[in-house]
Amino acid sequence: MWFVDHAEVSVKAGDGGRGCTAFAQPPYTRYPSADGGDGGDGGDVILIADPNIATLLDFHFRHEFKADAGRHGGGNQKSGKRGEDLVIRVPVGTLLREAGTDAVLQDLTRPEQRVVVAKGGRGGMGNAARVASAQGARRKRKHSPPVRPRTLDATPGTAGEQRRVILELKLIADVGIIGCPNAGKSSLLARISTARPKIGAYPFTTRYPVLGVVEVKGRGAFVACDIPGLIEGAHAGKGLGIQFLRHIERTRVLLHLVDAAAVDGRDPVDACRQVNAELAAYSRTLSKKPQLVVANKLDLPQAREHLTALRRAMGQPVYEVSAATGEGVPELLEAVWHQLQEAKQGLAEATASDTDD
C-alpha cells in the first residue's frame, strides 16, 4: 500500500456557454424580434471530505481536474444547459492551500464537509435577454432612442476559475505515538487496538502513519496514530518521521515511547531528549502538547536499570509497560483516558472564553 499525504493539482471550472444571436418574425409582424437564448453556467469544482478514503493516492497519478462547460444558448429563446459540477472526494483531515502563496483555503475536518474550490463561469446573454434588458432600461429614461434588436448581439460566457492547489493530509487522531526507531510503537498500537501495523526489528519498519481505535474498558474509545521513528536531524530531512509529523499536529495527547532496555544501544534519556528536540525544531505547538512518557520493553531484565535515571531526567511520571506481554498497558490506557478528558475540558474552556470575548 502507498500512503500519499501531499499532492499538488490543477483545477479548472467549466466555462460559461455562449449566448445565441437569433431572430424570429411571427406572422403579421413588420419587424423580426430577438429570439436567442442564454448560455448555461459552467460547472463548479467541489471537494468533499469522505471518511471512506484514507490517502491522497489518487492524486499521485492524476494532477488535472476540469468541470463541464455550460452549453450554448439556442434559437426560440432556448437556454443552454448548466455544466455538470466536478466532485472530488478527499480524506477527512485534508488541508487545502493555494499553490504559490501557501494561503489556507479550507480545512476539511468533518465528514461530508465540502468546499467550492473553483467557481464555474457565467453563461452569456442571448440577444433576446439583451433586448429585454435594454427596453427595461429605456422605459426608465426619458427621451431615450428606441431599441433596435439587430444592434444587440449575444454575449460570450465568462471563463471558469482556474487555480493550482496543494492538498495536505493531516490524519485526525486523539493520541499520537512517537519515539525513536525500534522503541516498540507499532507493537504497542497492535497491543492496544485492532490495527495490525508491520512489526520488525529493524529501523523504519513503520513507513507511514497507522491509525487504530483503542477501547478503554468502562470508559469509551479513542483513536491512536503510530508515527514512523524519529532520528537526530529529522527536522532537517533525515529519516522518515519528519514527513509525517503533520499527522500529530491535530492530536490532543502524545505518547512518548522509550526503549527502556536500550536494545539498540541508545541511552533512554538521550533518546527522549533527542525526540523532544526534533519536535521543538519542527513546531513549537507540538513541543507543548501534553506528553506521557512510556518506558517500554519491561519484559527484558536490563530495562529496569534505566528507570530511575529516566524518571529523574524527565521530571514527570514514567509509565512502565511491555508491549510484548501487556504488562502495565491497562494502567497506561487509564492515564491516557484521563489526560484526554483534561485536554478536551481545556479546549472547551478556551472556546467558551473566546466566545465571551
pLDDT of residue 298: 92
Q: Which helix or strand (DSSP H or E) is residue 191 part of?
A: helix 185-192
What is the arithmetic mean of pLDDT over 254-260? 93
User: Which residue in the block uniquely carries the three cell numbers 501534553?
Assistant: 290
pTM value is 0.72
Q: What is the mean pLDDT of residues 1-23?
A: 88
Sheet strands (E) in 68-173:
86-91, 94-98, 104-108, 114-118, 162-169
Q: Are strands 94-98 and 162-169 parallel, antiparallel or unpaired?
A: antiparallel
What is the spatial distance between Cα 239 and Cα 271, in angstroms, rounded to a whole number?
A: 15
Q: Please give the domain boundaries of the chain with CATH numbers for all domains.
A: 6-168 (2.70.210.12), 172-356 (3.40.50.300)
Element (H, E) at 223: strand 220-226
Q: Residue 182 pLDDT more than 80?
A: yes
pLDDT of 211: 84
What is the CB neighbour count within 10 angstroms for residue 42?
Answer: 33
Q: In the predicted model, is pLDDT for residue 19 greater than 80? A: yes
Q: Which residue has the cell 472547551?
A: 348
Q: Which of 136-140, 143-147, 340-344 is most confident?
A: 340-344
pLDDT(355) > 70: no
* Mean pLDDT in residue range 247-264: 89
Q: Tens digits of per-residue pLDDT, 188-242? A: 999 998 877 766 655 555 567 888 889 998 888 999 988 877 765 544 455 555 6
For residue 290, the tally of other CB atoms under 10 A from its CB is 15
Q: Residue 265: what pLDDT?
A: 85
| Contact predicate 298/304, CB 8 Å | yes
Q: What is the mean pLDDT of the chain?
A: 85
Cell of 226: 503510530
> Which of 64-78, 148-162, 295-309, 312-326 ranks highest by mean pLDDT?
64-78
Collect all residues with Cβ–Cβ distance below 8 Å to 190 and sequence separation of at least 6: 196, 197, 199, 212, 323
SS3 (DSSP) at 23 = strand
Query: Whose CA is closest to 40, among 66, 12, 88, 74?
Result: 74
Strands 220-226 and 175-179: parallel
Per-residue model confidence (pLDDT) at position 198: 67
Q: Give the pLDDT score at 2.
A: 53
Q: Which three cell numbers stand for residue 103?
A: 494561503
240-249, 251-260, 300-309, 310-319: segment of lowest average pLDDT = 240-249
249 vs 83: which has the higher pLDDT: 83
pLDDT tens figures, 20-61 = 999 888 888 877 888 899 999 999 999 999 988 888 888 988
Closest by CA to 191, choosing from 314, 333, 94, is: 333
pLDDT at 305: 87
Pick from 349, 350, 5, 337: which is nearest to 175 by CA?
Answer: 337
Query: What angle in degrees, to the nearest 10, is found between the helix axes of 185-192 and 329-356?
Result: 90
Q: What is the mean pLDDT of residues 76-101?
A: 94
Residue 126's pLDDT band, with cuts at 50, 70 and 90, is very high
